[in-house]
Amino acid sequence: MPRMRTFLVVAGAALLARRALRSRVAASPLWPMPALENPTSGRGRKGSQARQLTVTERTEEAEGVVRLRLEGTELPSWEPGAHIDLVLPSGTVRQYSLCGEPATPGSYTIATRLIEDGRGGSREVHEQLHEGTVVEVRGPRNRFPLGDSHAYVFIAGGIGITPILPMLRQAEREGVPWRLLYGGRSRASMPFLAEIEKLAGAGTDRVTVVAEDEDGRPDLAAVLAGAPPYAAVYCCGPEPLMDAVAALLPDGPDAPTLHTERFAPAAPAPAGGSAPFEVELRRTGRTVSVPSDTSVLRAIRDQALPDLPYSCEQGFCGTCQQRVLAGEVDHRDDLLTDAERDDSLLICVSRARGDRLVLDL
């Protein structure tokens, strides 16, 4: 008989458990598994690729500068300092900083200056993009993010104001003290002057506008010397301006940190070309040289880490993705999203744009 009793107890318990489970599952069909807070699956990689946007507004922002508003649906959000790749009707691709309000969904704003003797990109923007034109846009990406700081010093030269403008608005909103040195050829040619002066408020000395035809050259040394200790300096403008700022940056333990953005890549690699360069493996503490006919992957496997994972060696499977700590990457894969390209690369196909890369290996 004890056997019978055991059977009854087990059967009874099973029935009760079944009932309890049923009601719970009925109430919540996906009970009882936890979920990942930021799910990885189903985001779809295609969403980060090119989008077709329509030019909905074109205004003359200053002498030789047009401001374009590009509208589309489900545009990714962005942070100050971000830029987009604009694919022009001829197929030329140019980067333009976003200078609108990040909080505005459904549109991006850019401003471009016509450069008479440039490579033709700005001329195409000025001559071909009108209200109603549809253009292809990739991104946004951010190589010039505004980090947290207790004080900012912004230095902008001419059209270099575009990434700086959203930074000013954010600093102002967050109540972080800031100063701006804004230089240009003449007041008439400097975009966003009115908005910036309004942002600074009347009677303050937070903004110094230096127009070359009236005031001569800006006194960079004075601005940098006057920067508060540990301030963050953000500079965007012509190459000589950024070089001068870098050279004049005070030294010392409490010196300000410098962040710059170049309009064009420092040393554009010829398409398809493969110059040799060096790769530093920061955690391993070794440096590997990559000859022109060898991939980064092969070089590292042969010279330092034979067990590095990889598979397709053609830039689509993603197995060999590694984190980049420093150096400009010439991305040659078909896989990574723009966000991933900001801090990683596929070492089986991509190479350095300059002469050195630092990897987290």
Instruction: Name the minimum Å distance from CB 21 to other proteins.
Output: 12
Residue 73 sits in the site that holds other proteins (CB under 8 A): no
Residue 36 sits in the site that holds other proteins (CB under 8 A): yes
Quote the CA–CA distance of 329 and 346 in Å, as a whole number.
10
| DSSP state string for 96-161 | EE--S-TT-TTEEEEEEE--TTS-SHHHHHHHH--TT-EEEEEEEEESS-----S-EEEEEEGGGH
Instruction: Name the minimum Å distance from CB 355 to other proteins.
Output: 26
Instruction: Name the minimum Å distance from CB 40 to other proteins.
Output: 5
**Which listed range, 79-87, 91-99, 302-310, 352-360, lies at the site for other proteins (CB under 8 A)?**
302-310
Instruction: Specify the residue, 254 or 307, whose C-beta has the smaller distance to other proteins.
Output: 307
Member of 39, 91, 240, 252 binding other proteins (CB under 8 A): 39
Member of 30, 202, 247, 266 binding other proteins (CB under 8 A): 30
Residue 216 sits in the site that holds other proteins (CB under 8 A): no
Residue 40 sits in the site that holds other proteins (CB under 8 A): yes
Indicate the DSSP class of residue 48: G
Instruction: Specify the residue, 40 or 204, whose C-beta has the smaller distance to other proteins.
Output: 40
Residue 334 sits in the site that holds other proteins (CB under 8 A): yes
Give the phi and the psi of residue 35 in degrees, each rounded to 5.
-120, 155
Residue 42 sits in the site that holds other proteins (CB under 8 A): yes
Member of 18, 19, 22, 45 binding other proteins (CB under 8 A): 45
Instruction: At 6, list the tokens.
Output: 């055991």
Instruction: Name the minimum Å distance from CB 22 to other proteins.
Output: 12
Residue 27 sits in the site that holds other proteins (CB under 8 A): no
CB-based burial of residue 341 (10 Å sphere; 0-12 exposed, 13-18 middle, 19+ buried)? buried
* Of 83, 113, 87, 125, residue with least CA distance to 100: 83
| DSSP state string for 294-310 | S-HHHHHHHHT-TT---
3 state SS for 200-234? HCCCCCCEEEEEHHHHCCCCHHHHHHCCCCCCEEE
Q: Which residues bind other proteins (CB under 8 A)?
A: 29-30, 33-37, 39-47, 307, 309-312, 314, 316-319, 334
